[in-house]
Amino acid sequence: MKLKKHNSPSQNPKEILKKIGAKLVRLRKERGYTNSDGFSYDQAINRSQYGKYEAGSKDMRLSTLIKVINAMGLTIEDFFGEGLDQK
């Protein structure tokens, strides 16, 4: 069975990871954390891994993203609902 190709825009996963990382940085700073180490320590998230997520250099499991979003007091709908390009 062949899948039909849709005429939707192509999305580069690396670019999306960078946008998610930038959003995580912005949200962390809004919550008063000046660096990722303090946030990751308080939320029991591996410090070096979390730094890579914010840099957009490491792919993240959906369950990890949900854990981070929950730690920020948001829902997944909140996180993606306001878009990834918000400044």
DSSP string, 62-85: HHHHHHHHHHTT--HHHHHHT-SS
How high is the pLDDT of residue 87? 61
Q: Is 8 domain-assigned?
A: no
pLDDT in tens, 13-55: 999 999 999 999 999 999 999 999 999 999 999 999 999 999 9
- Place 6 in a pLDDT band, splitting at 50, 70 and 90: low
Q: Is 58 domain-assigned?
A: yes
Q: Is 74 domain-assigned?
A: yes
Q: Are 69 and 76 in contact (CB under 8 A)?
A: yes
Q: Is 87 domain-assigned?
A: no
Evaluate the CA torsion angle 83, 19, 21, 61 in order and state its sign: positive
Q: Is 3 domain-assigned?
A: no
CA-CA distance, 32 to 15, in Å (whole number)?
26
CATH of the domain at 44: 1.10.260.40
Q: Where are the alpha helices (DSSP H) in 1-87?
A: 13-30, 36-42, 47-55, 62-71, 76-81
Q: Is 39 domain-assigned?
A: yes
How high is the pLDDT of residue 55? 96
Range of the domain at 18: 13-81
Q: Is 30 domain-assigned?
A: yes
Total number of domains constituting the chain: 1
